[in-house]
Amino acid sequence: MQQIGHWINGKHVAGAGRTADVWNPATGEVQAQVALASKAELDQAVADAAAAQPAWAAMNPQRRARVMMKFVDLLHRDMDKLAEALSREHGKTIPDAKGDVQRGLEVVEFCIGAPHHLKGEFTDSAGPGIDMYSMRQPIGVAAGITPFNFPAMIPMWKMAPALVCGNAFILKPSERDPSVPMMLAELLQEAGLPDGVLQVINGDKESVDAILDNDTISGIGFVGSTPIAEYIYSRGCANGKRVQCFGGAKNHMIIMPDADLDQAADALVGAGYGAAGERCMAISVAVPVGEETADRLIEKLVPKIEALKVGPYTSGDDVDYGPVVTPMAKENILRLVQTGVDQGAELVVDGRDFSLQGYEDGFFVGPHLFDRVTPDMDIYQQEIFGPVLSTVRAGSYEEALKLAMDNQYGNGTAIFTRDGDAARDFAARVNVGMVGINVPIPVPLAYHTFGGWKKSAFGDLNQHGPDAFRFYTKTKTVTSRWPSGIKEGGEFTIPVMD
């Protein structure tokens, strides 16, 4: 069986203790074992990174950016290999896995502009003979704790800006699908990144706590569930670190009576069931405004959902979504579906008995559609993270808006309408960090920032875009004065003796 260790000082290193199983979600088989680092292993990797960081930081930003430029070329070269490894461990379809890599790659492309983003400010003659200027300098050693659902994209969102700013970086990826982060480390070394500047440490809570308590690590980025985000944010900040944490979501899509319902239904199916719903930006709540709108929407959704093709990534590019990541994830999804039924929601499309011939042991979950869900139900309150779409009927636009605004999460939301006034009002008033207008999954491109509000995010700065350069650097301001006096200038005649 394959053994996955760590990436330390530019090479693969076997773990020294505990391991965890890595599943093949399509077959239900354990395909590898991944090492779980101890505190001592983590601390040593951090010490080695700290030793390598000053020389990397001393390299001028243009040369660091050229490493990112080469990294982009290598990502394109190995796209198929990365996607296959990602699908094998996570369960995504190949097109979805390539999208995972591509959205990370785009952030790396943005980081090629580091020389511009790292420029400081300058004021001459701030006072008599005084100049003043600022410099952006790396924070030292940063760490990223990344989730299973985007094993390529989110590690690149974290490590690319951190590295190009001159930091060393400790990546603790999800132990559920660790192969792609290790492959990314290999590609960065091939691109010219010095050994030790990036360390990939596989592990679980012991490794996370070691990161939070390590005195050398100055900044931490996290993506995952809200309870863990709150834990990491509070403990990391208490230890004097700069911390940004992104948590759970319950993204609402409001469908106005004037919306193109065919377009809205297609958008809901893609945003609700893509990647088996294992996305923090998935639409999990549809909010049609008015009974007639709701009835027509459900009528259009049902045949589209029932026609979804669920299968392993090996079945071709026409598979709509694959299995969920672990048997525990499947069990939790089906448990929540049952609570929805028990609490009185109408299960319009029931995927509980879904079974795929030849893959009966895989972690496949059939698509589910609930109607007449109310805000007090567990399926509304909790992030299901599975192929389950809940419909909450609203009597008016204001009622629909209030649903999104009153929810504890504020990651993403969308409105589908032909009315520019309603769209503009919604974008201005809704207390959610990322808003789509006739766009179901409003994930900003790499040169804007990504981040939610309320219980979906903790910290002052977002991911990627300009905020990444602010998070991974600190500002130093210099005030200088040089003695000033009248200079006699050059002599242009032959000197003679007096």
How far, in Å, CA of 269 to CA of 387, rounded? 10
Please classify residue 113 by burial: count the beta carbons closer than 10 Å to its beta carbon, then call 0-12 exposed, 13-18 middle and 19+ buried. middle
**pLDDT tens sequence across 206-245:** 999 999 999 999 999 999 999 999 999 999 999 999 999 9
Contacts (Cβ under 8 Å, ≥6 apart) of 116: none
Report the 3 state secondary structure along 168-185.
EEEEECCCCCCHHHHHHH
pLDDT of residue 483: 79
Domain boundaries defined on the chain = 2-247+456-480, 251-437
Q: Enter the pTM of the model.
A: 0.94
CA 287, 293, 295, 297 dihedral sign is: negative
* Exposed/middle/buried for residue 469 (C-beta within 10 Å: 0-12, 13-18, 19+): buried
CA-CA distance, 354 to 276, in Å (whole number)? 13
Least Cα distance to 387 among 414, 365, 411 occurs for: 365
Q: Tally Cβ neighbours within 10 Å of residue 53.
A: 23
- Residue 99 sits at φ, ψ, to 5 deg, of -65, -35
* pLDDT tens by residue, 150-204: 999 999 999 999 999 999 999 999 999 999 999 999 999 999 999 999 999 999 9
Whether 490 shows a pLDDT value over 90: the answer reads no
CATH of domain 2-247+456-480: 3.40.605.10
pLDDT surpassing 70 at residue 98: yes
Write down the pLDDT at residue 491: 66
Q: How far apart are CA 107 and CA 464, in angstroms?
A: 7
Closest CA to 446 of 70, 222, 56, 117: 117
Do residues 468 and 114 touch, judged by C-beta distance below 8 A?
no
Total Cβ atoms within 10 A of residue 486: 5
**Residues with Cβ within 8 Å of residue 136, at least 6 apart in sequence:** 118, 119, 120, 165, 469, 473, 474, 475
Order of all β-strands in the sheet with 122-127: 122-127, 130-138, 473-481
Q: Taking 80 as the threshold, does the pLDDT of residue 287 lie above it?
A: yes
Q: What is the pLDDT of residue 32?
A: 97
| Mean pLDDT within 338-345 | 98
Query: What pLDDT was estimated at residue 43?
Result: 98
Average pLDDT on 412-440 reads 98
CATH number of 251-437: 3.40.309.10
| pLDDT of the residue at 127 | 87
pLDDT band for position 495 (cuts 50, 70, 90): low
As a whole number, the mean pLDDT across the chain is: 96
| Contact criterion met (CB below 8 Å) for 450 and 462 | yes
pLDDT of residue 497: 57
Residue 109 vs residues 71, 195, 207, 293: alpha-carbon distances, Å: 9, 22, 30, 42
**Count of Cβ atoms closer than 10 Å to residue 38 Cβ:** 17
**Which pLDDT value is given to residue 345?**
98
Query: What tokens were used for 234?
Result: 């509070």
pLDDT band, very low/low/confident/very high, at 482 (cuts 50, 70, 90):
confident
In total, the chain counts a number of residues equal to 498
Residue 87 has pLDDT above 70, yes or no: yes
pLDDT at 1: 86
Distance from C-alpha of 404 to C-alpha of 375, rounded to nearest angstrom: 11
Q: For residues 286 and 373, what is the distance between their CA atoms, to the nearest angstrom? A: 10
Taking the C-alpha atoms of residue 250 and residue 456, their distance in angstroms, rounded to an integer, is 9
Q: Which residues are catalytic?
A: 280
How far apart CA 287 and CA 290 sit, in angstroms, is 9
**Taking phi first (over 0 means left), then psi (-120 to 50 degrees means alpha), and beta for anything else, what does residue 395 get?**
alpha
Q: State the Cα–Cα distance between residues 224 and 452, nearest whole angstrom.
A: 13
For residue 482, the one-letter residue type is W
Interval 35-46 mean pLDDT: 98
Residue 129 is predicted with a pLDDT of 86
Phi/psi for 287 (5° steps) reads: -125, 85
